[in-house]
Amino acid sequence: MSEMSKKWKARLLSSSLPLEHEVSKILSKYNFFTSYDYSYSRKENATNKDFSVDILGSAYAPFNNSNKLIASLNVLAECKFREEGKIWAFLPALPDANDVEFTLGATIKSLNHFSTRKVDAEDIYDFESLFPFSLKGTEISISSGEVFDKDIRHGILQLKYALPYLIKDSIESNCYGHLEDTEPDFIVPVLITNADLYIFNQEFSIDNVKEANNIDDIAIKTPYLILKNTSSPDFIQHHKTVFKNFSKIRSSTNINEFEAKQRLFKDKKYNIYESPLKEVEDLERSPTYISNKYYSQFFICHLNSFDEFINTLQITINKSLKRKLNKKTQ
């Protein structure tokens, strides 16, 4: 085979188009409707520029009955194909730091309070607790020795800057739609790659790296993980732009119905509930609480494990709804 004939295949693969198709096929298997290039706008050097995330897949719980729709699940997926010999390796969360650095329930973005249903978050917490957590990762080329994190950061930022638009659209759809059609929305951002994923050992250190013969001496392969990403001032400004004047939605008829219903779901021990009226004001103000809740944690998944990831995700969403429905609290 000539070098020229090899180049077009390598470049086609590196475009991530075949990877996107593989991801779409998996989503379709689980009854998702998929669309390519979810577009959004972002200011860059004082000019608005158009960007996009590779795939948006939407499905409706309970996922196997088109006549019974009780929630929507949106998977926002960015795809990164890597050449053979490249791996992604991530720092482990420090011992006993998970409760400080990570928030269970912040990776699956639940907008259930903009509906008349209550979601049992315990099932979502249990799902997210199965994933290793990391604060930072990098790409390593085993063959060339290059180490850089540009593509990982780029993929996460693509998801992050698109999320406000998707969250806003979801809330507006429920607030201005027919009340009987409003159901909880779940939004799941995931970065998908064919590169092997590794978590460095807790003993990871400068000396460990110097003494290692290969990556397996200092890291453990994982099918997926959750990555924490803090919000920059640029992202906060981007968020404020997306949600400018958003509090006007408080005048919609549905949101008062949502408020009344969510008040009935108040936690009896702590006397608190998720207030949609307060949330729209917070989304407009963009405080740290909002960044941590919606934009701080992202799934990263190997292509070979994406089928299992989606299957377990749908089971988790169904459980969180069924437990609520069985309690007859509506």
Question: Would you kindly state where each structural domain of the chain is located, as residue ranges?
Answer: 19-326
Distance from C-alpha of 1 to C-alpha of 10, rounded to nearest angstrom? 13
Q: What is the pLDDT of residues 261-288, one digit of tens each?
A: 999 988 777 788 899 999 999 999 999 9
Distance from C-alpha of 26 to C-alpha of 114, rounded to nearest angstrom? 29
Q: What is the pLDDT of residues 53-100, one digit of tens each?
A: 999 999 999 998 777 888 999 999 999 999 989 999 999 988 765 555
Q: Indicate if the pLDDT at residue 239 is higher than 50.
A: yes
pTM (2 d.p.): 0.92
Give the Å distances, CA to CA, from 304 to 30, 197, 224.
16, 11, 10
Which of 106, 123, 310, 79 lies closest to 228, judged by CA? 106
Q: What is the pLDDT of residues 160-202, one digit of tens each?
A: 999 999 999 999 999 998 888 889 999 999 999 999 999 999 9
What pLDDT, on the 0 to 100 scale, is given for residue 329?
A: 39
What pLDDT, on the 0 to 100 scale, is given for residue 102?
A: 87
Number of Cα atoms under 13 Å in the Cβ half of residue 85: 7
What pLDDT, on the 0 to 100 scale, is given for residue 97?
A: 58
- 326 confidence band (pLDDT: 50, 70, 90): very low
Tell me the percentage of the chain whose pLDDT exceeds 90.
76
